Structure 1
Amino acid sequence: MHTFPPISLIGAPTDIGAGHRGASMGPEALRVAGLAAALAARGLDVVDRGNVAGPFNPWLPPTDGYRHLGEVVAWNRAVMQAVAAELAQERLPILLGGDHCLAIGSITAVARHCREQGKHLTVLWLDAHADFNTSAITPSGNIHGMPVACLCGFGPQELTGLGGGAPALSPEQIRQIGIRSVDAGEKKLVRDVGLDIYDMRYIDEVGMKRVMEEALLNLGPRDHLHVSFDVDFLDPGIAPGVGTTIPGGPNYREAQLCMEMIADSGRLGSLDIMELNPALDVRNQTAMLAVDLVESLFGKSTLMRD
């Protein structure tokens, strides 16, 4: 049984990068659904650090291909500093989103921590979307469609260089799982950079077990696994509380298996829970499902397994 370090919950209540209002209420919905208590019941040491602060969402149209770039930078800098502070104390940060643009700050902090510790970072990006848009190809200017591109160095310097140096990640460090919506311009870009994408067709063809075996291949003691979990990864039939519902996502059992196999790897070091939008949810069921899946990520299983 893998033992986890102490856990810190960090709320980032903003929908600054999104196309719908409401993801700003995601952190509170996860708290109401009992995330801290569920993890504590597993014997884990959990502290809720409260919320980071950032600018109000002005809800303006895009400027030069980006909506709210200055505000997005401010929020991501706050997230980066909060996540870095927990990693420095050898704690496992869980970022409660908020929209998915905030993963830029979260993963930039994790990447820098891994470089300093001599660890190899692998990012599992659980999402319906590739999030590899740029200002040149984005249909909307919403930066929550750009975090993977920014982390790989494709984007505005304020975000690609958020950690001070070169891009936080190279494309071969990312495995994307559950993808089923890629914009036309993105398709060429993700192919050109060689992004490792396990889309829904591939999951249908070979099954979630094989997908996760491939995604988790060759992880060793020097590996740090960061999971960036966009709740729209899940099929909207079980998880309606998201701004961009795309039918045909993983069902409950597939999602559980995905989380359980990540837990079995013993390498989980940091986590984002993103894009939960309680304004679009039904009696907080999506938040409760997210909590259930996160319990599995931290080792809950039906039977005792070695």
Structure 2
Amino acid sequence: MNSKIGRWISLDRKKISIIGVPSDYGQQRRGVDMGPSAMRYAGAIERLEKLGYDVIDEGDISVHRTKRNKQYDGKLLNLEEVLEVSERLAKKVDEVIKQDRFPVILGGDHSISIGSIAGIRKHYQNLGIIWFDAHTDINTPETTPSGNIHGMPLAVNLGLGDHRLISIAGNAPKLKFENIVFIGARSIDEGEKALIKEKNIKIFTMHEIDRMGMSKVIEETVEYLKARHVDGVHMSIDLDALDPIFTPGVGTPVPGGITYRESHLAMEMLEEAKMITSCEFVEVNPILDERNKTANTAVALMGSLLGEKLV
């Protein structure tokens, strides 16, 4: 456990480790497993090196290709495969943080957050989460309309769902309801709505973003998490948080999302706050993309989050 727990901490942001997770087992559309390659091709490593970072590409987590769409208990698709990927990712993330390196995780579908948060949580007692997504990904086996585990990673890390998933890397539950902030949600299942209301989870839907503006949303997010005395913040961005005009290469696009400029403003303000201690970019699907537009956007957002300035 990190000896600095209890104080606001940040890893050495001049040392970055890129971790690819080429897994598409959390959903049913092929192609998102090529997301890490697409973001590397879009210049992720070169862009961060240009900003002065010591970047190590740790390569990809090994993902075995097996028959897809197996079911467990009639509810969870590809459970065994998601378990295996999550265990491997949690171990890798843990190793990277032990080396005092800032993890930048490239997905893969959003189920990879089960493993990334499990590994990160080993180093923080009161981890905060900023979740940019058109969806809230807080379904359980009881509420899921699809059985897709990429709609469940936050529920799993909150200790809800299959016991094997919530037990990955120990420390279950790994998150507190009050330490989560949703940004950009606009497609929320009924079971998720009920849980969000019951637990009073902080959420800025597109309605709030439109009314308040992204600047105010990020200001309130930063103050909200600081008030809860989180000792680290993991930022997870599903590229479908943006409007499909800007990110066509995602598996579950929802019209009316965050604009390109709003997303950069959010990243720039979070960089100024110096509160992000790990991040991941997920759901880039090159098969559905237009000339790698979505991967290029993801890499541009990485740049803004990690200090790239216009002047």
TM-score of the aligned structures, taking structure 1 as reference length: 0.94
What's 2:6 paired with? none
Which deviations, in whole Å up to 9, do the C-alpha atoms of 1:121-176 show, x marking residues without a partner? 21111110000111111111000000011111111111111121321101111111
Give the percent of matched residue pairs that are identical in Structure 1 and Structure 2. 42
Would the aligned equivalents of 2:28 and 2:69 in 1 still touch at CA under 8 Å?
A: no
1:285 corresponds, among 278, 285, 293, to 293
Matched, 1:140 2:135: no
Gaps of 5+ in 2: 1-10
Which deviations, in whole Å up to 9, do the C-alpha atoms of 1:198-235 show, x marking residues without a partner? 11001111110110001111639973221111111111
Secondary structure (helix, strand or coil) at the match of 2:117 reads helix
Question: Over the residues paired in the alignment, what is the CA RMSD in angstroms?
Answer: 1.6
In the aligned structure 2, how far is the partner of 1:154 from the partner of 1:3?
33
In the aligned structure 2, how far is the partner of 1:100 from the partner of 1:126?
11
Would the aligned equivalents of 2:26 and 2:148 in 1 still touch at CA under 8 Å?
A: yes
What's 1:79 paired with? 89
2:167 corresponds, among 156, 161, 166, to 161
Per the TM alignment, residue 47 of structure 1 is displaced from its structure 2 partner at its CA by 0.7
What's 2:22 paired with? 13
Per the TM alignment, residue 61 of structure 1 is displaced from its structure 2 partner at its CA by 5.1
In the aligned structure 1, how far is the partner of 2:66 from the partner of 2:145?
20
In the aligned structure 1, how far is the partner of 2:213 from the partner of 2:263?
11
Distance change in 2, residues 1:175/1:59 (3 Å) = same
1:68 corresponds, among 72, 78, 84, to 78
Matched, 1:208 2:217: no
Instruction: Give the letter aligned to residue 243 of structure 2.
Output: D
Secondary structure (helix, strand or coil) at the match of 1:289 reads helix
Matched, 1:263 2:292: no
Which deviations, in whole Å up to 9, do the C-alpha atoms of 1:37-80 show, x marking residues without a partner? 00000001101011111332522253321001111110000110
Distance change in 2, residues 1:222/1:152 (3 Å) = closer
What's 1:301 paired with? 309
TM-score of the aligned structures, taking structure 2 as reference length: 0.92
Instruction: Give the letter aligned to residue 268 of structure 2.
Output: E
2:231 corresponds, among 216, 223, 229, to 223
In the aligned structure 1, how far is the partner of 2:178 from the partner of 2:122?
17
Secondary structure (helix, strand or coil) at the match of 2:175 reads coil
In the aligned structure 2, how far is the partner of 1:34 from the partner of 1:185?
39
In the aligned structure 2, how far is the partner of 1:158 from the partner of 1:55?
19
What's 1:88 paired with? 98
Instruction: Give the letter aligned to residue 188 of structure 1.
Output: A
Matched, 1:23 2:39: no
1:39 corresponds, among 48, 62, 75, to 48
Instruction: Give the letter aligned to residue 30 of structure 1.
Output: M
Would the aligned equivalents of 2:36 and 2:108 in 1 still touch at CA under 8 Å?
A: yes
In the aligned structure 1, how far is the partner of 2:71 from the partner of 2:148?
8
Secondary structure (helix, strand or coil) at the match of 1:96 reads strand
In the aligned structure 1, how far is the partner of 2:151 from the partner of 2:89?
18
In the aligned structure 2, how far is the partner of 1:209 from the partner of 1:158?
39
In the aligned structure 2, how far is the partner of 1:157 from the partner of 1:5?
37
What's 1:98 paired with? 108
**How many residues are treated as equivalent by the alignment?**
298
Would the aligned equivalents of 1:5 and 1:90 in 2 still touch at CA under 8 Å?
A: no
Secondary structure (helix, strand or coil) at the match of 1:73 reads helix
Distance change in 2, residues 1:299/1:39 (3 Å) = same
Distance change in 2, residues 1:203/1:139 (3 Å) = same
Instruction: Give the letter aligned to residue 21 of structure 2.
Output: A
Gaps of 5+ in 1: none
